[in-house]
Structure 1
Amino acid sequence: MIYAIGDIHGQIDQLENALRLIEIDGGADAHIVFLGDYTDRGPDSRAVVERLMNGVAEGRNWTVLRGNHDRMFCRYLADGTEHDAQIKSGKGWFDPALGGAETLRSYGVEVAGTDTLPSAQAAVPPEHLAFLESRPLWFETDDLIFVHAGIRPNIAMEDQIEDDLIWIRVGFLDHEGPFEKLIVHGHTALDTPTHLGNRVDLDGGAGYGRPLVPAVFDGTICFTLTDQGRVPLLPSA
């Protein structure tokens, strides 16, 4: 069995609930893959990052992947970069749609023009950035490939590029054929986790106030976890 949690986006209470449901189902030593996007939009990115850091430091069987929002956070703190070339609309990290200001607010920093970057660099612990920057981009089992956004079809995993693994939509979401393995991803928010046949999207929109719903995989058979137990997550028609 392997468990997975989609995009958290600063929702620490939702994360704690998801971890509770997983522990009820699989015990304290359950292997959990976190699919990235721990920061932005929600109210407590700092607490989410600390929770994941502490779990890894304690030796929990956790695989913590990196998402595009985590990279934007790190890039801003490194040199003030607010824009990513993958965002075709030109919106910056502080745009309300992306939620960077909420991340800094969780560290006690308000966005205030040119004063923001030095204040943020002083407030955000370097170990938080080091943790996010060191996260792997994908994880693979015999049956599954876990990744934040998706993959470029018909390209070996070792040849995939970072921008695709954390940003891709076009060319992946519309790919109707089989992949080498079932892809488990987040990044593209839906109303609820959804099985699309060749992929499972676990971003149920926690960044927009919807529940964070964990999943468990037995081979390629998928269930979501609720207070009432497992619910089969079947391929949609």
Structure 2
Amino acid sequence: MLSALRHAKPMAKPTLPDGVRIYAISDIHGCAHLLDQMLRVIDADVAHSRPRHAIEVFMGDYIDRGPDSRSTLDLLIERSQRGNAVFLKGNHEAFLDDVFRDPGRMGNWFQVGGLETLMSYGLSPSVNPDGDEQHELMRELSEVMPARHRDFLGRLRLNFSCGDFFFVHAGVRPGIRLAEQREEDLLWIREDFLQHKRRFSKYIVHGHTPVRSAEILDNRANIDTGAYATGNLTLLSIQGSSLLAI
């Protein structure tokens, strides 16, 4: 048995198909100025390295907390017109959906940055709006939010897979096949996923849980570096089996 262990082959590193380079960003949270900087970094790197296929993966939480959710969505929608970008859904986009359906959830939304989103669209909510104001604010938001923003938010994906990599906002439920994951886990999971040390069927790239600097572990990479609070929006570049966090 000991001899067999000594000669066991190391697990292969996750890899992308030849010629593919992926640029991944998560948890922008209304920091349009930081997003603009990172888009310029991507453009400069593509011009320099000229990958055969460059794919940009944006992993959710585009809105709330930071100062300019509206401009963040404008930048992403403009980026989508290039045809090589994938846009995933985050729990904050799901929260906005919930508040549109039930304005009574606005108080909870404000606790996670919804006030800043409303203000970015030119609205002036009170800090503790009552029921009537909540309904009026969501009616006003539906009027002032451009149709292209609602369309964009309505077309977000839950995950994206390429080669040996699986991109998702929050993470995955251990023990469940990737194809059978629940939306709630993909958008919200934390401890059960973060504490799992074994490899999944694919290498998981995620955000959702802020860390001081990008974590590149054996089974996953967390690239949420709390941009709205730290001013640090991380870009992960992947080519072959090489992962580089900028």
- Indicate conservation of the 8 Å contact 1:23/1:30, yes or no: no
In terms of fraction of residues, the more helix-rich structure is: 2
Tell me the secondary structure at the aligned position of residue 110 of structure 2.
coil
- 5+ residue gaps, structure 2, are 1-20
- Indicate conservation of the 8 Å contact 1:5/1:214, yes or no: yes
Count of equivalent residues: 215
Following superposition, the deviation at residue 81 of structure 1 comes to: 5.0
Deviations 1:56-104 (A, max 9, x none): 1x23311010100111122222331527xxxxxxx71111xx1000001
Comparing 9-18 with 150-159, which one deviates more in the overlay? Answer: 150-159
In the alignment, the residues of structure 2 paired with residue 52 and residue 111 of structure 1 have an alpha-carbon distance, to the nearest angstrom, of: 26
- The reply to whether residue 99 of structure 1 matches residue 122 of structure 2 is no
Deviations 1:89-143 (A, max 9, x none): xx71111xx1000001000112232232222222222331221121100000111
- Indicate conservation of the 8 Å contact 2:23/2:55, yes or no: yes
Corresponding residue number in structure 2 for 1:146? 167
Deviations 1:24-53 (A, max 9, x none): 112397311001000001010001111111
- The reply to whether residue 55 of structure 1 matches residue 69 of structure 2 is no
Corresponding residue number in structure 2 for 1:180? 201
In the alignment, the residues of structure 1 paired with residue 96 and residue 168 of structure 2 have an alpha-carbon distance, to the nearest angstrom, of: 19
Following superposition, the deviation at residue 173 of structure 1 comes to: 0.4
* Counterpart amino acid of residue 106 in structure 1: S
Corresponding residue number in structure 2 for 1:26? 46
Alpha-carbon RMSD = 1.7
TM-score computed with the length of structure 2 as normaliser:
0.82
In the alignment, the residues of structure 2 paired with residue 129 and residue 81 of structure 1 have an alpha-carbon distance, to the nearest angstrom, of: 20
Structure 1 residues 81 and 165, CA gap change in structure 2 (3 angstroms): farther
Structure 1 residue aligned with 2:227, among 203, 206, 216? Answer: 206
- The reply to whether residue 9 of structure 1 matches residue 29 of structure 2 is yes
Corresponding residue number in structure 2 for 1:228? none
- Indicate conservation of the 8 Å contact 1:182/1:220, yes or no: no
In the alignment, the residues of structure 2 paired with residue 149 and residue 210 of structure 1 have an alpha-carbon distance, to the nearest angstrom, of: 21
- Indicate conservation of the 8 Å contact 2:210/2:226, yes or no: yes
- 5+ residue gaps, structure 1, are 84-90, 226-237
Corresponding residue number in structure 2 for 1:230? none
In the TM superposition, what are the counterparts of 1:98-137 in structure 2 within 5 Å? 98-112=112-126, 113=129, 114=133, 115-137=136-158
- The reply to whether residue 42 of structure 1 matches residue 66 of structure 2 is yes
- Indicate conservation of the 8 Å contact 2:36/2:75, yes or no: no
In the alignment, the residues of structure 2 paired with residue 209 and residue 45 of structure 1 have an alpha-carbon distance, to the nearest angstrom, of: 17
In the alignment, the residues of structure 2 paired with residue 220 and residue 146 of structure 1 have an alpha-carbon distance, to the nearest angstrom, of: 15
In the alignment, the residues of structure 1 paired with residue 104 and residue 67 of structure 2 have an alpha-carbon distance, to the nearest angstrom, of: 22
User: Which structure: larger Rg?
Assistant: 2
Tell me the secondary structure at the aligned position of residue 83 of structure 2.
coil
Structure 1 residue aligned with 2:94, among 62, 71, 86? Answer: 71
Corresponding residue number in structure 1 for 2:9? none
- Indicate conservation of the 8 Å contact 1:190/1:205, yes or no: yes
In the alignment, the residues of structure 2 paired with residue 10 and residue 207 of structure 1 have an alpha-carbon distance, to the nearest angstrom, of: 7
Instruction: Return structure 1 stretches of 4+ with deviation > 4 angstroms.
Output: none
- Indicate conservation of the 8 Å contact 1:149/1:187, yes or no: yes
